[in-house]
Amino acid sequence: MKVPPKRSIDLKFLAARGGEYVGVVAQVTREEVSNKWKNRRETHFVLLFTDGSLLVLGDHGLAAMVAACGDETDYWGGESIRVTARPTGGLQKDGTLRMEKVLEVISRTDGDGPPGVEKPDDVKR
């Protein structure tokens, strides 16, 4: 089986797909990634999707995943996730709208979640 190349889900990736991506989590890892805004490397959780796409979780994305799926990342596999781009209300230096990524768990796997975490209908950040 050929493994698809990894593609980072960023605002450019979302714009090319009409502002939305939906995928199923295949694996969760902790990786050291570059933070271009702080000019340093940081450790973050990374969601790898079944199609090879990956999403580095910031504070808000991590909070959305924990709220929907619990804090045990071993249970996050199989979750359907929607990532959208939305305006923040601010402007970029070039006058265009400033955008942010929003992560939403749109379905939970049945029976594999952690004890005490109920299956939500819809959890948004």
Taking only the tens place, the pLDDT of each residue in 34-50 is: 877 788 899 999 999 99
Sheet holding 97-107, edge to edge: 7-8, 53-56, 40-49, 20-35, 80-91, 97-107, 123-124
Convert the pLDDT of each residue in 114-124 to its tens digit. 444 444 444 44
Q: Phi and psi for 15 in degrees, rounded to 5?
A: -60, -35
pTM of the model: 0.77
How confident is the model at residue 37, as a pLDDT? Answer: 73
